[in-house]
Structure 1
Amino acid sequence: MISLADIEAARDRIDGVAKHTPLDYSHTFTEMTGASVHLKLENHQRTGSFKIRGAMNRITTLSEAEKEAGVVTASAGNHAQGVALAATRAGVDSKVVMPEHAPISKVKATRRYGAETVLYGADYDEAQQRAHEIEDEENRTYVHAFDDEYVMAGQGTIGLEIVDDCPDVETVVVPIGGGGLISGISTAVKEQLSDVRVIGVEAEGASSVATSLQKGSVHELDSVNTIADGIATRRVGDKPFEVIEKYVDEVVTVSDEEIAVTLTYLLERSKTLVEGAGAVALAALLFEKFDFTKDEVIVPALCGGNIDMNQLTTVVMRGLVETGRYLKVRTVLKDQPGALHDLLTIIAEEQANIYAIRHDRTSREIGMNETDVELDLETRGHDHVETLLSALREKGYRVDVLV
């Protein structure tokens, strides 16, 4: 397994390429949780995520012959950008296989950093299979996204920074995909401050580590399904799993809804943009997935900020729905003058704001003298939603909540 010395050596290798990212005390999330919350802003890293650390550490250790032959990897996006930039900085040719539905922003960024991209497969695992084929066909060195000791050590430099910047830390919360990040961080933290807890967080739809720990060995999922594409892996790495068993105190999961709410809170209250995978650590804290005490010093790692703009719109909207800030309803009105006015008057009296109205007389689900109405509404929280729905129903409207 990797050691503290390996991680300290990685810090020297990547110096000048990867940045020492901020550790920001959050008044907002401290007030919300009662803990003392310090956000590790790895979304501010070069390429927008921590992956440049491990990629740079791995590529700097290649032999001259390996550098000449080039590298290949598979990635959903963040590791792709890290490898592309690290390889370009080292003068090494790079080829990256990405899932066919990888966010277009990550594909374009990978190309801008200098890599040739190949789109293949439905998910990371299928892309990885193709990358290994290219490895054999072109004699390239495969740079694994997580199951590699140099990559793990590179990611562990985050743990060194956390201990340096917050020596009184009591709990570190870390996202888990393939396990490279948490294995590095937990080694760096535990080998300096053995009493510090390390909590791992997975998306419910990609919980290979939680399942593996229950079974006592690495278990591969049949499929994954989560908005947190950066940690959507079907299988934890063998090397990281050994470290997780040794150093990680607890592994918990969060739902996509909880991820969406957390991402929305970060945007609205902290003016901080993260991707789905970057929100899971804070989500575990906000939704109390593990026990903690008042004023406990907790560092959630916000591991990436490379979210596709189209996905951002969807996720934020879902976050607004989950917090009672957006409501879509349907009702049926008599098709007569003043009917819509009467409905809108109630909505105005309850101080809901209207985003959109759809008015349809042609639906086969209603009578010939009726009209189907859908409304998109801005609301102020769950209590406001319930008050509005009660007011409408008390006036005799049959209201269906669509979202």
Structure 2
Amino acid sequence: MREGFCCDSSNLHACCHKEFNGSMHRSSDYKLEDPSCNPESPLKVTFEEITSAAYKIKSGIVNTPCTRSHMSNLTGMDIYLKKDFLQNTGSFKERGARYAMLMLSPERRQKGVIAASLGNHAQAVCYHGHLLGIPVTVVMPIIAPIMKIQKCKEYKANVIMDGKDMAEARKIAIKMAKDRGYTYINGYDHPQIIAGQGTIALEIMEQVQDIDAIVVPTGGGGLLAGVAVAVKNLHPDIKIIGVESERCASFSMAMESEKPVATPIEGTLADGLAVPMVGYNAWETAKSLVDKMVVVKEEWIAVAILRMVELEKCVVEGAGAVGLAAILAGQLNEFKGKRVVLILSGGNIDTTILGRCLERGLAADGRLVKFKVTVSDRPGGISELCKVIGSIGVSIKDVIHERAWVTSDVFSVEVKVVCETRDYAHSLELRDLLLARYKKVKFDDIPENMAAAPTVEP
């Protein structure tokens, strides 16, 4: 094992007793916030550490299937899906969490661990802490989903709701680790977390032969780093592709700046990837091993979630869908005719958010359309419109009509309609039909660039 990598977390925890000065809410007070993630001396995780993790965690981790996708023929690629959302807590985060806790000394186990997380890492730490008899405290920001908070409580963890965002929750957790003797476990940059996440690549390479590329959802970079090390050591010719949302492209920004940099984060469907700065250890480990980074638009993530539900019967969160989103958007066309593995990293999506994602996916796919049309306000005017729409098999979802704001004449009414169509071509057929029958028709955002996206056969 390489010198400088602390396999025993008690060594890392000893660093926690360095003095922190002043209030915990001022970022300038924490030049070295996490002793396992030192920007001045980052640690590069090795292949040997990943194989060690694989041996140690295998009794407590699900060896998830990696099956050929039904979308292979539609996309022109031989796609395989690594379904790590089938872990007990619904995400790959269990791999690193279990390994990090297994490597604690007896003294550290007794004192307990602490983590800061919006959901998946928190659930993984709570679940495996419960299995291993290790006391767990998690600090979750007030914006954390209620479902994920409740899951952590079910695993008998001490759940603290504090901090307006992850940055504040993280500082609170680190301060508590120092004050109470807990071991702080970073969700994406702790060396043992990275090593644990890399075990997913070892499983993939056992399950699928002759792989050309592995597509990895990327946030803080821990999964990307672990996968890159494992793959490049065994099969250097396999391409490693990282995928981010355009609203949280922190790894791409790091590549442009040649170092981790603070990146503005906006609301995204891939909330599990919304990390404002790549981890220092993850960056040091992965920077020379990644072949390509792809940044996808939000509408393609919504379409990918929809495709997963319709064609694969898989419910995945936005972070787990970004790999497919990149393919649907045409950003990985160089792999047409080749074998590509997509890591479906998580399935913990709130049911309310899932509903919104499916509707947004339908809209982005050109299958949920909205338009305004001015029709006669005489008896039968709106009825005639409905007959025209129904004549080509379009389903009306909502109708609203307005009289007061129609300036053309008092015998007209503006009707706002939301319709569901079979596919993009069906939406265009509806548009052409209405334009031929009515003088004033305005469609909102029929996405012409979606025409090439693989769709469900009617």
Could you state the TM-score of these two structures normalised by the residue count of structure 1? Answer: 0.95
From 301, 314, 324, the equivalent of 2:356 is 314
Partners of 1:394 and 1:207 in 2: CA distance: 44
- Residue in 1 that maps onto 2:224: 182
- Once the two structures are superposed, the pairs formed by residues 206-285 of structure 1 within 5 Å of their partners are 206-285=248-327
Partners of 1:136 and 1:222 in 2: CA distance: 29
- Once the two structures are superposed, the pairs formed by residues 368-383 of structure 1 within 5 Å of their partners are 369-383=411-425
**CA displacement, residues 35-72 of structure 1 (integer Å, 9 cap, x when unaligned):** 21111111111200000110000011112221122111
- Residue in 2 that maps onto 1:18: 61
Please tell me whether residue 350 in structure 1 is matched to residue 382 in structure 2.
no
- Once the two structures are superposed, the pairs formed by residues 3-402 of structure 1 within 5 Å of their partners are 3-26=46-69, 28-361=70-403, 369-402=411-444
What is the DSSP-based 3-state SS (H/G/I as helix, E as strand, rest coil) of the residue aligned with 1:47?
coil
Q: Which amino acid aligns with 1:357?
A: V
What is the DSSP-based 3-state SS (H/G/I as helix, E as strand, rest coil) of the residue aligned with 2:195?
helix
What is the DSSP-based 3-state SS (H/G/I as helix, E as strand, rest coil) of the residue aligned with 2:266?
coil
Deviation of 1:355 after TM superposition, in Å, equals: 1.7
Deviation of 1:332 after TM superposition, in Å, equals: 3.2
What is the DSSP-based 3-state SS (H/G/I as helix, E as strand, rest coil) of the residue aligned with 1:87?
helix
What is the DSSP-based 3-state SS (H/G/I as helix, E as strand, rest coil) of the residue aligned with 2:247?
helix
Deviation of 1:368 after TM superposition, in Å, equals: 5.3
Q: RMSD in angstroms over aligned alpha carbons?
A: 1.8
Partners of 2:179 and 2:401 in 1: CA distance: 59
Deviation of 1:222 after TM superposition, in Å, equals: 3.0
What is the DSSP-based 3-state SS (H/G/I as helix, E as strand, rest coil) of the residue aligned with 2:220?
coil
Q: Which amino acid aligns with 1:388?
A: L
Q: Which amino acid aligns with 1:142?
A: Y
- Residue in 1 that maps onto 2:45: 2
Partners of 2:175 and 2:373 in 1: CA distance: 56
**CA displacement, residues 353-394 of structure 1 (integer Å, 9 cap, x when unaligned):** 112222344558786554342222111222221221222122
Partners of 1:124 and 1:224 in 2: CA distance: 13
Maintained 8 Å contact 1:35/1:292: no
Q: Which amino acid aligns with 2:246?
A: E
Partners of 2:126 and 2:379 in 1: CA distance: 63
Comparing 355-364 with 1-10, which one deviates more in the overlay?
Answer: 355-364
Cα 1:179–1:396 shift into 2, 3 Å: same
Deviation of 1:400 after TM superposition, in Å, equals: 2.8
Maintained 8 Å contact 2:406/2:412: no
Cα 1:361–1:179 shift into 2, 3 Å: same
Q: Which amino acid aligns with 1:344?
A: C
What is the DSSP-based 3-state SS (H/G/I as helix, E as strand, rest coil) of the residue aligned with 2:198?
helix
Deviation of 1:102 after TM superposition, in Å, equals: 2.0
Maintained 8 Å contact 1:277/1:303: yes
**CA displacement, residues 255-310 of structure 1 (integer Å, 9 cap, x when unaligned):** 11111001100100111110000001121223232343443111010100111101
Partners of 2:408 and 2:191 in 1: CA distance: 64
What is the DSSP-based 3-state SS (H/G/I as helix, E as strand, rest coil) of the residue aligned with 1:251?
strand
Partners of 1:282 and 1:385 in 2: CA distance: 24
What is the DSSP-based 3-state SS (H/G/I as helix, E as strand, rest coil) of the residue aligned with 2:334?
coil
Q: Which amino acid aligns with 2:342?
A: P
Partners of 2:437 and 2:346 in 1: CA distance: 48
Partners of 1:107 and 1:10 in 2: CA distance: 28
Partners of 1:173 and 1:189 in 2: CA distance: 12
Structure 1: gaps spanning 5 or more residues = none
Partners of 2:386 and 2:168 in 1: CA distance: 51
Comparing 392-401 with 313-322, which one deviates more in the overlay?
Answer: 392-401
**CA displacement, residues 166-195 of structure 1 (integer Å, 9 cap, x when unaligned):** 132121110101011111111111111111
Cα 1:144–1:388 shift into 2, 3 Å: same
Maintained 8 Å contact 1:124/1:232: no
Cα 1:160–1:367 shift into 2, 3 Å: same
Could you state the TM-score of these two structures normalised by the residue count of structure 2? Answer: 0.84
Partners of 2:438 and 2:328 in 1: CA distance: 39
Maintained 8 Å contact 2:265/2:274: no
Partners of 2:196 and 2:104 in 1: CA distance: 14
| Residue-pair matches, total | 402
Cα 1:137–1:397 shift into 2, 3 Å: farther
Name whichever structure is richer in helix by fraction.
Answer: 1
Give % identity. Answer: 35
